[in-house]
Structure 1
Amino acid sequence: MGTHAAQRNRRPTLFAALGATLLAALFGIPRADGARHSADACRTVGPSMPRGDCGPFWQVLAEDFDGDRVPLGSFSDCDHHTDTSAAYCGGLSGSYRDNWWAYPTGWRDTANDRARGVVGVYHPEDTVSVGPAENGDGRLRIRMWRPDDGGPVHAAAVVPRAVMQMKYGKYSARIKVTRLAPGYKSAWLHYGGGCEMDHPEGEWTGSLSAFHHPCGGGRQGSFHGGDDWTEWHTVSTEWTPGRVRFFVDGRQVGHDTRNVPDRPLSWVLQNESALEGPTAEPGSSAQLEVTWVTAYAYGWK
């Protein structure tokens, strides 16, 4: 700005406006016209799936689940080239076989490593399906359940193949728990080599949270939000060199810069038996629905 008196007298007002704009961009504060600013790279706030590149991120996956139906039983025979970008489920066909993998039947969930009375075992063949909702909107459905006679929870972890073993990126989805019961949770994550980033994570009867476990150990970054799993939310993780940021509905809910991963990791949409609170009752079930998933590679522009 210039240095003469007229312009100097206007600086506080201008800086206040700039400050308000910056805060709105960072925290998703509503504008005067009622619309919301979004702090994430795609400026995603509403229910529509974003298409195209966003800032330093270029889109490599845009799945709205409006294509072919995928009935229960299709996510089967997934024990091929596991945990690599060549992994696939033999029971799938077409674009879903090309684009999606799931933890194979028989893999144990995280609760097996904890002192929990009820644990889970991955069973994608009887928990994962794709089909339209009543309004015609395509949905990925993850229905976890516990048998009537007890035993392990049938859990599900699905993996977008396009971003397996990818370094950095942006990862987003529109999600809602449509059937609620105690004892079920999600921990969508990137992990490996002593590094882990989780978002969203939490028991479905609680609220969405995010966590960062720095590479090599140290105090975890813990970011607890007030958002309810039973409402529609857009969740996003932006992972760039030396920094990870977590968003809910365009609002940044946490970030960390301590020992952020700098190696390729896969994005796992992991859903399993709860690690805290009540365990799943025999005969119970709970369901998460996903209306779209997008993912982006990272590159300087």
Structure 2
Amino acid sequence: MGLHAAPPRRRRAALLVPLGLMLLAVLLGVPRADGALGSADACHTTGTQLPRGDCGPFWQVLAEDFDGDRVPLGSFSDCDHHVDTSAAYCGGLSGEYRDNWWAYPTGWRDTADDRDRDVVGVYHPEDTVSVGPATNGDGRMYIRMWRPADGGPVHAAAVVPRAVMQMKYGKYSARIKVTRLAPGYKSAWLHYGGGCEMDHPEGEWTGDLTAFHHPCGGGEQGYFPGSDHWTEWHTVSTEWTPGHVRFFVDGRQTGHDTRNVPDRPLSWILQNESALQGPGAAPGSSAQLDITWVAAYAYGWK
């Protein structure tokens, strides 16, 4: 285990001067003295390991690498308690996982249900989410979505780190890879509420990682297409500060918006569901996303 401190979406002095300049340079991706372009995100995230410790204006409140943990299928059950609040929990979980994780309850319908899609999804965390070691011993959270052979709805999954539920601003990072690919499955990891939404990463798993910002109160969405494939390991990060939202893939800034950025507490939803574009999931098919670590940070100078 690591360090831990809505209904489903319908469709997320002298010393200080150089430190400030340094932070600005990092955010803009200014080249280092050796000429190489440094990581643009506040934590300089270029490696594959779980980052630990505070960075820039962010202080770490969640660092989970899943190493040594086993949470079998069936554990993410009975999640209909205090839903969409920081008191939410899944009765099927125990110990630190009950304290630190929640999931959309069984029976909630996914975004495709409002999109006139032939294939829609229903959240079933009890038979889609588990934690355990990979063949190389690396601890991972597994999101395995599937569609029954009889052609029923996709079994979807949305998990929520409780440490950052209803938190205003922050930095949110994870290292992910789709390890089993099939058409008809997607992710939309998001913050949303009150007419505001920030999505990263989002997209059908057969395509590329993208990001979106839906300004509070409406207006044209910010769309930030990517060129990185879901089927390769990537570190994804969202940095949300007053008046700014920035999106990163492997330390490279892929999007930035300043229009009506949320200024209210929101939860980070790791939402995975049936596709909104392209073919629907075939009966009997399945697809899987692996998460090898998750890190999150509150915002503000300490």
> Same fold, TM exceeding 0.5?
yes
Q: Is the 8 A contact 1:176 1:230 kept in 2?
A: yes
Q: Is the 8 A contact 1:77 1:91 kept in 2?
A: yes
Structure-2 separation of matches of 1:34 and 1:64: 33
Compute the RMSD of aligned alpha carbons.
1.9
**Identity, % of aligned pairs?**
87
| 1:159 and 2:160 aligned | yes
- Counterpart for residue 40 of structure 2: 39
- Counterpart for residue 261 of structure 1: 262
Aligned residue runs from structure 1 range 209-220, under 5 A: 209-220=210-221
Structure-2 separation of matches of 1:258 and 1:171: 20
Q: Is the 8 A contact 2:62 2:296 kept in 1?
A: yes
Aligned residue runs from structure 1 range 1-301, under 5 A: 25=26, 37-301=38-302
Structure-2 separation of matches of 1:257 and 1:30: 24
Deviations for 1:121-175, whole angstroms, at most 9, x for unmatched residues? Answer: 0000000000000110000000000000101000000000000000000000000
What is the TM-score normalised by the length of structure 1? Answer: 0.90
- Counterpart for residue 13 of structure 1: none
The 4+ residue runs of structure 1 with deviation greater than 4 A are 21-36
Q: Is the 8 A contact 2:68 2:133 kept in 1?
A: no
2:208 maps to a residue whose letter is S
Q: Is the 8 A contact 1:84 1:165 kept in 2?
A: yes
Superposition deviation, residue 24 in structure 1: 8.9
- Counterpart for residue 15 of structure 2: none
**Unaligned 5+ residue runs, structure 1?**
1-20
Q: Is the 8 A contact 1:109 1:120 kept in 2?
A: yes
Q: Is the 8 A contact 1:24 1:31 kept in 2?
A: no
Superposition deviation, residue 234 in structure 1: 0.2
- Counterpart for residue 9 of structure 1: none
Deviations for 1:27-73, whole angstroms, at most 9, x for unmatched residues? Answer: 76987979761010110011011000011100000000013200000
SS of the counterpart of 2:107?
coil
Count of equivalent residues:
281
Q: Is the 8 A contact 2:23 2:56 kept in 1?
A: no
Structure-2 separation of matches of 1:53 and 1:24: 18
For the structure 1 residues 296 and 25, does the alpha-carbon distance in structure 2 shift closer, same or farther, using more than 3 Å as the test?
Answer: closer
Superposition deviation, residue 256 in structure 1: 0.3
For the structure 1 residues 177 and 30, does the alpha-carbon distance in structure 2 shift closer, same or farther, using more than 3 Å as the test?
Answer: farther
Superposition deviation, residue 115 in structure 1: 1.2
Structure-2 separation of matches of 1:161 and 1:88: 8
Structure-2 separation of matches of 1:71 and 1:22: 42
For the structure 1 residues 285 and 29, does the alpha-carbon distance in structure 2 shift closer, same or farther, using more than 3 Å as the test?
Answer: farther
Structure-1 separation of matches of 2:36 and 2:140: 27
2:44 maps to a residue whose letter is R
- The structure number with the bigger radius of gyration is 1
Structure-1 separation of matches of 2:61 and 2:198: 20
Structure-1 separation of matches of 2:31 and 2:180: 31
Q: Is the 8 A contact 2:23 2:42 kept in 1?
A: no
Q: Is the 8 A contact 2:145 2:155 kept in 1?
A: yes
